[in-house]
C-alpha cells in the first residue's frame, strides 16, 4: 500500500424528521456541533464533523429530514450512508415513499441502518429488531443506537469505517468541520428560537452572524435576528427585553458548549419585510432555494 493512503471519506447521516440524526452526528464525533431540538425539521442545511478513528478520517454529514425538500444529489458524492430510523416503527418507516425513493437513489452505496431511540426497547429485545431488519436484505449492517446515552455508537462507527475507501487523505489534519464557524454559531442561535417563540415566528426568523472576534480573551459574537414582519419584532424583544434576554442566555450556553469558549453575545432584532418570499434574501440568509 503506498504511504499516505488511508481510509478517508464521507458518511451521510439521513432519515425522517426528528429521528435523532443530529444527536447521532454529535455522539459519533464527540462534539455538540449540530444543534439538537425537540421540534421536528430543526436541521435545515448539511452540517459536517470529521472524526479520526486510528489513522482514518470520516466526515459525517448531518442533513435535513428526508421529507423537507431533500437535496438528493448529496447521496452521489458520499461513500457510505447511515439511515436513521425509529426502532419501534422502522418497518413502517421503510415503507414510506420518501424513504423508498432515498434507498433507490442510494442503491449503489453501502447503507448502514441505525435503529434509533433503542432505549424505547428493552435491551434483550433489541436483537429481535435487528433480526427483523436483516430480513429486508438491504442493509450492509444494522446497529441499535441511543445517541444521548452513547449506546451503540462505537459499533456504528466501526460499521461505517469498514466501508470507507482507502485513498489519499481528503481532509487536512486538524480540521474538524467543513462548515464555517459563523454558520455553525448562527445555527446554534436559530435552534434556540424554537424553544422560546411560537413555531411560525421562529421559522420566519433568520440569524445572520455579523462578527466573531476575540475581545478581552473571550469569543465575541454579534448577530442579527431578522424577522419577516414588523409585528414580530416586539414578540422577539418581549416586555422590557425579557424574551431577547432569554434567547441570549440559551444561545450563550449552546455556543459555549459547542466552541468550548467563554462567549459574549450581542443580539439585534431587525425587520426585512417578507424575506421568506424573496429569493435573494433567502440566499443571503443561507437558505437553499
- Residues near Mg ion (CB under 5 A) are 21-22, 43
Query: Does 21 interact with ligand GTP (rule: CB under 6 A)?
Result: yes
The conformation of residue 268, written as its DSSP 8-state character, comes to E
Sign of the alpha-carbon torsion through 282, 286, 287, 289:
positive
126 lines the binding site for ligand GTP (CB under 6 A)? no
Provide the β-strand partners of residue 209: 223
> Could you give the dihedral angle defined by the CA atoms of residues 179, 106, 100 and 122, in that order, rounded to the nearest 10 degrees?
-70
Out of 7, 9, 110, 116, the only residue in the binding site for ligand GTP (CB under 6 A) is: 116
Q: Taking CB positions, which residue lies at the least distance from ligand GTP?
A: 20
Q: Which does 19 bind (CB under 5 to 8 A by kind): Mg ion, ligand GTP, none?
A: ligand GTP
Q: Which is nearer to Mg ion, 189 or 236 (CB)?
A: 189
User: CB under 5 to 8 A by kind: which of ligand GTP, Mg ion, none does 9 bind?
Assistant: none
- Cell numbers of 207, please? 440569524
8 A C-beta contact, residue 212 and residue 180: no
Answer yes or no whether residue 67 interacts with ligand GTP by CB under 6 A.
no
Residue selected from 18, 57, 177, 205 as contacting ligand GTP according to rule CB under 6 A: 18
Q: Identify the sign of the CA torsion 143, 17, 15, 91.
A: positive
Contact window for ligand GTP (CB under 6 A) among 46-54, 141-149, 175-183, 227-235: 141-149
How far, in Å, CA of 59 to CA of 164, rounded?
Answer: 10
Phi, psi of 168 (to 5 degrees): -65, 145
For ligand GTP, the closer of residues 7 and 147 by Cβ is 147
Using alpha carbons, list the distances in angstroms from residue 50 to 26, 143, 163, 185, 268: 10, 21, 16, 17, 32
The CB-of-31 to ligand GTP minimum distance in angstroms stands at 13
**CB nearer ligand GTP, residue 34 or residue 224:** 34
Establish if 121 lies at the interface with ligand GTP (CB under 6 A).
no
Q: Contact with ligand GTP (CB under 6 A): which of 6, 9, 12, 19?
A: 19
Minimum distance, C-beta of residue 115 to ligand GTP, in the bound complex (Å): 9
Selected from 23, 48, 208, 232, the binder of ligand GTP by CB under 6 A is 23
Identify which of residues 43 and 224 has a Cβ nearer to ligand GTP in the complex: 43
Return the number of the residue (32 or 259) whose C-beta is nearest ligand GTP. Answer: 32
Write down how long the chain is: 289
Selected binder of ligand GTP within 109, 117, 126, 190 (CB under 6 A): 117
All three cell numbers of 213, joined, read: 472576534
The alpha-helical segments, DSSP class H, found in the chain are 21-29, 74-77, 90-94, 97-105, 126-134, 153-161, 181-196, 199-203, 230-237, 242-259, 279-284
Instruction: Identify which of residues 37 and 161 has a Cβ nearer to ligand GTP in the complex.
Output: 37
86 close to 116: Cβ distance less than 8 angstroms: yes
Residues that bind ligand GTP (CB under 6 A): 17-23, 36-38, 40-43, 65, 116-117, 119, 146-148
Amino acid at each position: 500500500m503506498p504511504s499516505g493512503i488511508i481510509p478517508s471519506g464521507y458518511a451521510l447521516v439521513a432519515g425522517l424528521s426528528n429521528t435523532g440524526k443530529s444527536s447521532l452526528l454529535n455522539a459519533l464525533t464527540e462534539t455538540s456541533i449540530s444543534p439538537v431540538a425537540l421540534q421536528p425539521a430543526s436541521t435545515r442545511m448539511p452540517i459536517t464533523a470529521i472524526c479520526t478513528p486510528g489513522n482514518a478520517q470520516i466526515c459525517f454529514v448531518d442533513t435535513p429530514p428526508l421529507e423537507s425538500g431533500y437535496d438528493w444529489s448529496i447521496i452521489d458524492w458520499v461513500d457510505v450512508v447511515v439511515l436513521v430510523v425509529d426502532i419501534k416503527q422502522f418497518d413502517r418507516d421503510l415503507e414510506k415513499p420518501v424513504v423508498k425513493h432515498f434507498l433507490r437513489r442510494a442503491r449503489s452505496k453501502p447503507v448502514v441502518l441505525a435503529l434509533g431511540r433503542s432505549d424505547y426497547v428493552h435491551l434483550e429485545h433489541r436483537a429481535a429488531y435487528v433480526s427483523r431488519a436483516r430480513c429486508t436484505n438491504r442493509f450492509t449492517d444494522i446497529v441499535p443506537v441511543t445517541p444521548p446515552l452513547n449506546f451503540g455508537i462505537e459499533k456504528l462507527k466501526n460499521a461505517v469505517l469498514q466501508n470507507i475507501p482507502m485513498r489519499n487523505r481528503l481532509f487536512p489534519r486538524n480540521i474538524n468541520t467543513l462548515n464555517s464557524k459563523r454558520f455553525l454559531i448562527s445555527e446554534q442561535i436559530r435552534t434556540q428560537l424554537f424553544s422560546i417563540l411560537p413555531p411560525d415566528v421562529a421559522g420566519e426568523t433568520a440569524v445572520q452572524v455579523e462578527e466573531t472576534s476575540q475581545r478581552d480573551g473571550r469569543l465575541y459574537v454579534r448577530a442579527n435576528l431578522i424577522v419577516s414582519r414588523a409585528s414580530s419584532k416586539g414578540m422577539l424583544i418581549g416586555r422590557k427585553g425579557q424574551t431577547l434576554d432569554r434567547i441570549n442566555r440559551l444561545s450563550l450556553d449552546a455556543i459555549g458548549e459547542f466552541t468550548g469558549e467563554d462567549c459574549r453575545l450581542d443580539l439585534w432584532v431587525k425587520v426585512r419585510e417578507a424575506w421568506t418570499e424573496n429569493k435573494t434574501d433567502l440566499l443571503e440568509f443561507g437558505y437553499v432555494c
